[in-house]
Structure 1
Amino acid sequence: MDFRQLTYFLAIVDHGGFNRAAAALYVSQPFLSQAIQVLERDLGSRLFHRIGRRVVLTEAGTALVPRAREALHALELARASVGAVRELRAGRLEIAAMASPAVEPLSTMIQRFTERYPAVLLSLRVALTREDVVEMVRTGGCELGLLTTSSPLPSRDVVPHHVGEDRLVLVTPMDGPFPAGQAVQREQLEGHRLIVGQRGTGIRAYADDLKAQGIDVRIAVETEHRMAFLPLVLAGVGLAVVTESWADLSERAGALVLDLEPASVQHNILVSRKAQLTPAAGAFLEIAVPPAHRSSL
């Protein structure tokens, strides 16, 4: 068993099959299949059930996934440590992020990082919920993750760093039901249609909390696609409760942004693995997280 075989194995897992993995790796599908067959012989176990064109992990394959990620992470750590001697003139850093903090504060973090380390490739991966972010970091899929939360994290397998807060605001059409410049009381949302994220997001939790308090709001659209919020609001489909990081973009698109009362705050948390970080991840933390806030939550 070698690192190349583990790379091939994880590519099949991550891309959902041999054909897509082969295309991503720039190898032929027969070559990839042969490499996995050799790996399976070395391990003495089948790693995939082949069902038509689909593949499903066997029990042995499932057990191998976290160990393979750890092994490749160790190799990347060794390679990146050499790069650190050259002041990070090369390298790659994978960051998982929920949609709202990916607008801010992640954009500012990346700007500062790339100004100092322009040769390091940053790979941003989408995570729909805070649990997704934690899982991607915990299992080694990404070294860092950025999430928003209004309550304690569901896992202690990662190291959290508080990087700021975002208030929730209401986005409406310019000719919407509320006047500009006046905060909207949550009771005033009674009877209105809302565009929300899926369960597990702070935006959805806010809408569910309104219902729990007896405020009859209607869910017009539930979507994983945050960029759909603005077009739907402007089309009159419903109102959207979003984090303040979306305010500038919303106003420039022609929407009205209003404060909500009482204020509801989401915490932006950057999480890192408990294991030793690559120099690129360590450098990103140094830039992104004020010293007073490291491991503060």
Structure 2
Amino acid sequence: MLDRYLLRYFLAVVDQGNFSRAASHCNVSQPTLSVGIAKLERTLGMPLFVRSNQRVELTDGGTRFLSHARRIEREFNLAMQSMGMAETLTSLRIGILSSIAGEIVAASVARTRPERQHRFELLFGSERELTGHLAKGRIDVALTLVGRGGDRFLELPVHTEGYALAMAADHPLAQDGEIGADRLANEVMIVRRHCEALSDTSRFFTERGVRPHFALRSTNDERVLQMVGAGLGITVMPQSYRAQDVVRPRLSGFDLTRTLGWAATQDAEHMLRASPPVMAEIARQLVGRG
């Protein structure tokens, strides 16, 4: 028989990344948690973690057990809720691609207040990071790039958008709806280092002989927009980004698009069929950006 507290210890180590943070999360000492994990491993007859000084990783057996542990914990919480005995709100853990405008997510959270309905967690990351978090069960669903040929997760496309220039509203070219790369040869630019289209953008300009000076390299899109609005430089961003002092003319000939959507494991299929309000609002906001 598996005690529930052992499952919670196990899931805490997976979610927190090491025994020390997991113990703090569970409000127990690290030796207590370690003894519990050892007991769970003896009960299952296999090691669950590979331990090292730097990090803790799941064994093959631990990876197989993880999906069962998630399901057991989820079913237990649902049973407690149905009997009016829920200890806490149900959890909702959402991952968001870092290159999605933060104001879209913030506005959606403000409108739906998911923290009042769930034990809500929000995590931003790259496509690769979100894929890893989904695979390990650290998040329930991710808003990320979809339609790229993989079949590892269930997908629900939400919105397809292109990329455009971003420049200060008082820039001499700001009134033009479309700008060719040749007209940007002498412009200062800003690099969004985390952008999934970075290599395509670099190749596009290089092939046209445009090798600008870069005034800023950043992974923070809000900061990039601030600096664009301040006139520091020009950049290329997804069309959904907006700022009061920034205009978004089209970059002539740059027709790359991306499709954003929800990705989930089989266990979270219900969240794609009947999305929680915050997910539905994020999707609405994205589509509303056109």
TM-score by length of 2: 0.74
Match of 2:250 in 1: 259
The one-letter code sitting in structure 2 at the alignment partner of 1:92 is: S
The SS at the match of 2:258 is strand
Offset of residue 46 of structure 1: 7.1
What percentage of aligned pairs have identical amino acids? 17
Residue of structure 2 aligned with 1:147, choices 134, 144, 153? 144
Match of 1:282 in 2: 274
Per-residue CA deviation, residues 90-134 of structure 1 (Å, 9 max, x unaligned), is: 42211111134353755566566558x9523432111212x4334
> Matches of 2:79 and 2:176 in 1, distance apart?
52
> Matches of 1:101 and 1:85 in 2, distance apart?
39
Q: 1:203 to 1:233 in 2, by over 3 A?
A: farther
Match of 1:47 in 2: 49
> Matches of 2:229 and 2:235 in 1, distance apart?
10
> Matches of 1:270 and 1:49 in 2, distance apart?
33
> Matches of 1:224 and 1:148 in 2, distance apart?
18
1:82-121 alignment, distance < 5 Å: 83=81, 90-101=89-100, 103=102, 106=105, 110=109, 114=113, 118-121=116-119
Task: Check whether the contact 1:143–1:281 (CA below 8 A) recurs between aligned residues.
Answer: no
The SS at the match of 2:259 is strand
The one-letter code sitting in structure 2 at the alignment partner of 1:188 is: R
Match of 1:185 in 2: 180
The one-letter code sitting in structure 2 at the alignment partner of 1:210 is: F
Range that drifts further, 221-230 or 18-27: 221-230
1:11-22 alignment, distance < 5 Å: 11-22=12-23
Task: Check whether the contact 2:178–2:249 (CA below 8 A) recurs between aligned residues.
Answer: yes
Per-residue CA deviation, residues 119-165 of structure 1 (Å, 9 max, x unaligned), is: 23432111212x4334433443322211246xx42521222222123
1:62-81 alignment, distance < 5 Å: 63-80=61-78
Gaps of 5+ in 1: 291-297
Task: Check whether the contact 2:162–2:256 (CA below 8 A) recurs between aligned residues.
Answer: yes
Match of 1:216 in 2: 210
> Matches of 1:215 and 1:82 in 2, distance apart?
64
The SS at the match of 1:245 is coil
> Matches of 1:281 and 1:8 in 2, distance apart?
31
The one-letter code sitting in structure 2 at the alignment partner of 1:208 is: S
The SS at the match of 2:249 is strand
Q: 1:195 to 1:70 in 2, by over 3 A?
A: farther
Gaps of 5+ in 2: 285-290
> Matches of 1:63 and 1:191 in 2, distance apart?
57
Q: 1:237 to 1:5 in 2, by over 3 A?
A: farther
* Matched residue count: 276
